[in-house]
Amino acid sequence: MRISHLALASTIALLPFAITACGSDDDTPSGSGGSGASGATGGNGATGGNGATGGNGATGGSGAMGGSAGNGGSGGSGGNTCDLSGAGLEHADVTAPAAGQTVTLTSDKVWDLKGIINVGDGATLAIEPCTRIEGDGGSLGTLVIQQGGKIMAEGTESDPILFTSALPEGSRAPGDWGGVIILGKAPNFKVSGSTLPSIEGLNAGEGLYGGNEPDDNSGVFTYVRIEFSGVELSADNEINGLTLGSVGRGTTLHHVMISNTLDDCFEWFGGTVNAHHLVCNNAGDDMFDMDQGYQGSVQFLFGRQIAPISDDPNGWECDSDKGGATPVSQVTASNVTLCGLGTDPANPQYGAVFREGLEGDYSNMIMTGFEASFDVRDDAGTTTAPKVKVTNTTVKGVTEDIAYEETGGADNDNGFDERAWFNGGTGNSVADAGIMCGSAGVAPNPVPATAIAGGTPPTTGAAGTATDFDTAATYQGAFDTDNWMSAPWVDWAAN
């Protein structure tokens, strides 16, 4: 959490205030399909699947523009028809909806995100599947879903939603535009009376989050890809790919990929939102960062680091508060695969940093390629009763497999022995899991050569039961025999 700083907004009342190969945003796989029989005249065609060109035919049948009488079906195109390249589409500016209003970003246009667009209390921004949104860096293009606002970004596996750079392919880079910020009313230990924390870099009153509503609902965010984000809103205040400020567990969050961002891929500032199937490709800082009293459950996470820029890039970075502020950060995580970049003497990299009173249950993980796998400190671990439990996990480090040797309290952990702690955990081991992490622009092969048996994923954490956890995933890592990242919603383009 090097970059996302916070400031308190004084005396504000607690009020409502988404695998192609490597390089193209065209998500169209091969396949020609049949042409189908002409058939009798159909009824009134349903609205087309993707708009634009729809399934296969120009006149309905397969759902092109909908509305016209069907011709009995043209048989389908034999594959996904979602083209996210934006080629040939008209551009239009994203505008903020007013309270009580819904603005819909349709898939028949490329939407230009210019400046900071705030979706305020009572307003809704809806995004159709297979829609491309381009962030403008010069104007700090950033989308902010404020407290009480909603985003309904419901992509699908074959028709994802894309937030990306406005620059052409080959010229794109981390930090080209801002990112996506979702702010809710769930608990956060930075809340002080009627004063709420705020995301720095946003205008006064526009970045507030926190409250007492753990079931708060900020909408739906599924099958979304965010690329080349992280512009500085102000000095040293880059934006994460996806920032979650006190987002509540009424929000639906899954199948989200952050790729080539200048700061963290995902950061949770408090809140209770549960999530699954998250992908981090090449974060400038941490892959998955949780703090400020986040209490939730996550499952099926993949992350890999290519070229971070911060001085402390880690896979996990999870904090609470050394002073005992409540709610305490309590994380339940299972089925996670993290790939480090290897040795970087200037920027030591850990698979997981657990600190500042964090509590949690982490299981069924594979972590490989980090200089060391763990750094547990600041009362997240004690010599008698570790507050963080890690089980059924396989690690392989570059310099140290588990942790660096203790050097007189240099790790600020009061003598806590990470090696003994890890070795004492059920099902933990040091071994090469046999996965291929890939490289810049190259898709990984994260499925182990031989499945590694794990345990039953925990379903009950501080925030209650994670009802959407897959308890049949009794294997280590995010993948069994199925690489769910081979689907069209994932892309590994480097620029």
- pLDDT value of position 309: 80
At 431-447, the pLDDT tens digits run 999 999 999 999 999 99
What residue spans define the domains of the chain? 102-273, 289-495
- In contact, 35 and 75? CB cutoff 8 Å: yes
Amino acid at 188: N
Residue 10, both tokens: 């004084």
Residue 331, both tokens: 């994380």
How many residues belong to the chain?
Answer: 495
Outline where 207-316 has alpha helix (H).
Answer: none
Tokens 């997981």 belong to 352
Report the chain (495 residues): mean pLDDT per 10 consecutive residues. Answer: 41 37 49 41 42 39 40 45 96 98 99 99 99 98 99 98 98 97 98 96 95 98 98 89 98 98 97 97 96 97 89 93 94 97 80 94 97 89 78 96 74 79 97 93 92 88 65 96 92 95
The DSSP line for 53-89 is T-SS-SSSTTTSSSSSBP-S-----SS---B-S-TTP
At 225-241, the pLDDT tens digits run 999 999 999 888 889 99
- pLDDT value of position 65: 35
- pLDDT value of position 384: 62
Separation between Cα atoms, residue 416 and residue 418, nearest integer Å: 6
